[in-house]
A and B are shown apart, each in its own frame.
Chain A
Amino acid sequence: MATVQPHRVRPGRGIELGLLALALAIGIAAYALVGIGVTGEVPADVVGYGVGMTVLGLGLHAVLRWRAPYADPVIMPAVVALNGIGLAMIYRLDLAEDASFATRQLGWTAVSVVLAGAVIVLLRDHRTLRRYTYTAMIAGLVLVVLPLVPGLGAQINGANIWIRLGPFSLQPAELGKIALAVFFAGYLVTNRDTLALAGPKVLGLQLPRIRDLGPIIIAWAASLAVLVSERDLGTSLLFFGLFVAMLYVATERLSWVLIGLSMFVVGAGVAASAFPHVGARFDVWLHALDHDIFNRSPGGSGQLVRGLFGLASGGLFGTGWGAGRPDLVPYAESDFIFASLGEELGLTGVLAILLVYLVLAERGMRTAIGVRDGFGKLLAGGLAFVVAFQCFVVVGGITRIIPLTGLTTPFLAYGGSSLLANWIIVALLLRISDDARRPPGVVQGHVAATPPHGSPAPVQIVGSAGGPARPSRSAREAEAPQASDTRPTERIDEMRGDDA
């Protein structure tokens, strides 16, 4: 254990303000350049747009100063930059296609930022969420199956992942992933020892007991059910990836990951051979440029290949805002916005965007490592991973690294549910990062007055932890900051292995 060095922790709000100014400048300049590139003049509403985005950004910044002064200063500006670049590209495609997606996306951005602020204000301590572990499970499952409810679900572009409420179409699975992350975090922090320590060891791999496989089998089955019934390879991959990642973080058992991956591969393989629409995706992936597959309808590779053409024409430096033809790619503003950006900003532009995502995800991971309670670690780690993984699945699909699925690029792509859900994820990460970065002794408002004992006491579960204690574990856990005197619950959480 390292000696705790007393040093002044900088809340980072000043840094955040500077980065926010940069992020806003990028977004607003992009918006103005789109107008210049397409019509030859600065768009008339750039001032209104700029003021709107600035008010939203500064508003959230103020909320952070007020309620989460130690929150990570990089996360929010990174997201504002991505959101702004996405808006500029959606506006650019509006000009090309005579559509009005940008206005709606701007509306959704406002709603999302306000909601994110509300989450930060209302959720004083992320551990409160642990109380709702099973509520979250039910909410998550309901959200996932909602599109299957007759009369509510709507099939759009061949996937049953939408519900229609009056004029709005929502993808409930986007919100479902947050609920499931909360459930996984709560469930796993309670049951991690059982999953980690029980079971035979074969070839150096600690295998789980059959009965402990229950939850992973349920998650696997649920993912496949989503895949088959809602024709949504992306969401099922996302949920399953989230679950496996969190399971690994909770148990440190590589065997879980291997079992999980092999189950998914087998399941997907069976699904590919049993269901034509899944099989078609594999054909498209492997033989995208074949003439027959390019022209096949439905289920041809036309969209994918047109996206590749767009990326290729962008080359290293891109055509510049408004100077390419991203509108030649179907769904250029949603599923394929990455290809649109690749065409106009070039390889350099999209590498910069990917780096912003990477910074965002790593800041989330850093938050998970820094926070002192197991639930927070799992939740932050899971949420950060899910954002990164979603990027990987979408961009990997567009660049033909993996089969194409129907997910949206977080913050960039057009889509209200996606924007809303991802901004809530950001709010949760900010909330947890405030906890992670707050120096010991600094107590925030009511949190100290309401000790987290109110949550379902993990202490009761301690007894159920089976298996032998492994001395190495305490050494490893000792890496976690131990300055948690004010947090008895978490202390027990972390020390459980030793207690058993």
Chain B
Amino acid sequence: MNTPLRRLSLVVVTMFLVLMVGTSWVQFVQADSLNNDSRNVRTLYREFGNPRGPIIVAGTPIAWSEPVDDAFGYQRIYAPGALYSSVTGFYSIVNGRTGIESAENDVLTGSSDSLFLSRVQDLITGKQPQGSSVELTLNPAAQQAAWDALGDQVGAVVALDPSTGAVLALVSTPGFDPNSLATHDIAAARTAYSDLNAAPNDPLVDKALKGKTYPPGSTFKLVTAAAALESGQYSADSLIDAPDELALPQTSATLRNYGGASCGSGGQTTLSDAIRVSCNTAFGKLGMDVGADAIRDQAKKFGFDESLSIPMSVTKSYFPPNEDLDPAKLAKSAIGQQDVRVTPMQMAMISAGIANGGEVMTPYTVATVRTADLDVISQTKPSVFRRAISAQTASALTDMMVSVVDSGTGTSAKIPGVRVAGKTGTAETTSDQSPHAWFTGFAPADDPKVAVAVIVEHGGSTGNEATGGKVAAPIAKAVMQAVLGS
């Protein structure tokens, strides 16, 4: 019986070889794909098991991880609830992550390449690895002012420091409470997410940066005016045609001013005055005269058609290509209607560019990243995004925008003792809905500290009677005041 016993021994050896190969297959060959399987909660547990770095605004954490006695180890907490939701986003077991939580995940968890050395140190000293803290550029007063001023209205506010590009306020309403999504009660987190997803006015969509883009309405006249000034054929005092009704070529339709009013006398007005009273017919005509190429080029110089990450991604703003623009459409596009679409961030960048002498700075929200030991890992250096217009053009536009607030459509943005520059917009949407109310501007006009863009969807609480001047300008004023007061 020894021969079969020897063979049986070989069978036993073979069985174990098969087991060893099988185990190696799972633990070595398949390990990566299994570790990355979306149903594998271990990756998430590992992340949750380490203290995630805080998100800090003006020295105060607005999001941090607190040790809790459950399977995950740490609970993410968002202190001011919904106030910063459009910036922080959320970090959830079941719903993933958004906003800064997503964009800066690597440094918050401490797994970023830039933290390699500190990880090695932790390994040697046996210290538990900790995530880095992310300090934002936000100005808490401006953020709070924007949030309060928007109130129950649906819309967004973006405030920038024109000289650096630092984002001072970023609000999208309605907001949401990230705590409800970050809860470790999985059923509750799921319910909260599906409720928010189904809620009216898309609270989960960051209206300041992405998702839908808006027709800019009259605020776009700044771009058209810039294109005209840059062409060298116009100055602030150039007289341009401003009929009561502009006949649109190749159609039977006409373009009229807001409320059917006439601007200027004798069918002509200066460029400066056309901005001040937001004259549609004048800019329709100017658009057709300057041409689609010049306007599009100018728009691109301000950042249209380009995606940004601040580090959250910003949707591209859009000006239609030539083949979509007959003269009638071009006229409408020149006043920010037709198919022109912008994000509030883009609008803020236009004002910031004008405020900064024509140089648009790259917007950013993360000021500094520090390790748990407060060592600075990275600090954002302001960088020039693009020179959009000459200093001369910028100065001319600034004067025009000051007149808008002084004696034009934007008087409700006036701040006592401060020269404020601005431009209103009332963007028609569909015939059955009230127009969007826009305001963009900066202050102080001679030494700009803050540039701002505000949109209130469908006129907000004012509804059909809404104009940018009535609805959006006061909100912009509140934000600018908050920045200047601090």
Contacts and interface: CB of A to CB of B under 8 A. Distances in A.
Interface of A: 245, 248-250, 252, 289, 294, 305, 308-316, 325, 328, 342, 346-347, 350-351, 354-355, 357-358, 361-362, 365-366, 368-369, 374, 377-378, 381, 384-385, 388-389, 391-392, 395-396, 399-401, 476-477, 479-480
Interface in B264-311: none
B116 interface: no
A351 B23 contact: yes
Given A358-B16, A388-B15, A400-B26, A249 B42 contact: no
B9 interface: yes
9 contacts: A309-B34, A311-B26, A312-B34, A312-B40, A315-B28, A355-B16, A392-B16, A400-B22, A476-B2
B188 interface: no
B5 to A, nearest CB: 5
Contacts of A399: 19, 22-23, 25-26
Contacts of B120: none
Contacts of B23: 311, 342, 347, 350-351, 354, 395, 399
Contacts of B34: 308-309, 311-313
Contacts of B8: 245, 248-249, 365, 381, 385
Contacts of B26: 308, 311-312, 342, 399-400
Q: Range of interface residues on chain B?
A: 35 or more
Contacts of A368: 5
Given A354-B19, A358-B12, A395-B22, 9 more contacts: A314-B27, A316-B28, A362-B9, A369-B6, A392-B18, A392-B19, A399-B25, A476-B2, A479-B3
B2 A479 contact: yes
Nearest to B25: A399
Given A249-B4, A480-B2, A395 B35 contact: no
A313 B42 contact: yes
Interface string B6-49: 11110111011011101111111011101101011110010000
B374 interface: no
A145 B280 CA distance: 93
Given A252-B4, A358-B13, A347 B27 contact: yes
Given A325-B45, A392-B19, A399-B22, A249 B1 contact: yes
Contact of B27 (A346, A355, A362, A385): A346
Contacts of B4: 248-250, 252
A368 B2 CA distance: 8
Contacts of A381: 1, 5, 8
Given A312-B34, A365-B8, A480-B2, A347 B28 contact: yes
B13 A391 contact: no
Given A249-B5, A384-B12, A312 B39 contact: no
Contacts of A366: 9
A260 to B, nearest CB: 13
Contact of A362 (B1, B12, B45): B12
Nearest to B6: A369
Contacts of A357: 16
B9 A365 contact: yes
A223 to B, nearest CB: 19
B20 to A, nearest CB: 6
Interface of B: 1-9, 11-13, 15-16, 18-20, 22-28, 30-32, 34-35, 37, 39-42, 45
Given A350-B23, A388-B16, A399-B22, A315 B31 contact: yes
A328 B71 CA distance: 10
A61 B440 CA distance: 89
Contacts of A477: 1-2
A350 B24 CA distance: 10
A45 B188 CA distance: 41
A500 to B, nearest CB: 16
Contacts of A248: 4, 7-8
A377 B28 contact: no
Contact of A311 (B18, B19, B27, B45): B27
In the A-B complex, the 3 residue pairs with the closest CB atoms: A312-B34, A399-B22, A347-B27
Contacts of B32: 312
A396 B28 contact: no
A377 B1 CA distance: 8
A358 B2 CA distance: 19
Nearest to A312: B34
A328 B1 CA distance: 47
Contacts of B11: 245
Nearest to B19: A395
B19 A328 contact: no
Given A313-B35, A316-B28, A401 B19 contact: yes
Contact of A252 (B1, B18, B27, B31): B1
A365 B18 contact: no
A350 B23 CA distance: 8
A249 B11 CA distance: 12
A378 to B, nearest CB: 7
A155 to B, nearest CB: 29
A396 B22 contact: yes
Nearest to A480: B2
Nearest to A317: B27
A442 to B, nearest CB: 22
Contacts of A328: 41-42, 45
A311 B30 CA distance: 10
Nearest to A346: B27
Given A347-B24, A365-B8, A312 B31 contact: yes
A252 B3 contact: yes
Contacts of B27: 311-312, 314-316, 342, 346-347, 350
B166 to A, nearest CB: 41
B451 to A, nearest CB: 49
Contacts of B2: 369, 377, 476-477, 479-480
B12 A388 contact: yes
Nearest to A367: B5
A120 to B, nearest CB: 23
B178 to A, nearest CB: 26
Nearest to A250: B1
A396 B18 contact: yes
A254 to B, nearest CB: 9
A365 B5 contact: yes
Given A249-B4, A400-B26, A354 B20 contact: yes
Contacts of A354: 16, 19-20, 23
A329 to B, nearest CB: 10
A347 B23 CA distance: 7
Given A248-B4, A365-B9, A312 B18 contact: no
Contacts of A289: 37
A425 to B, nearest CB: 15
Contacts of A479: 2-3
A399 B25 CA distance: 8
A312 B19 contact: no
Contacts of B16: 354-355, 357-358, 361, 388, 391-392
Contacts of B22: 395-396, 399-401
A63 B91 CA distance: 61
A391 B1 contact: no
A159 B2 CA distance: 38
Contacts of B40: 309, 312-313
A400 B19 CA distance: 10
Nearest to A476: B3
Contacts of A476: 2-3
Nearest to B9: A365
Contacts of B5: 249, 365, 368-369, 377, 381
B30 to A, nearest CB: 6
B9 to A, nearest CB: 4
B39 A396 contact: no
A396 B13 CA distance: 14
A289 B30 CA distance: 12
A365 B40 CA distance: 41
Contacts of A342: 23, 26-27
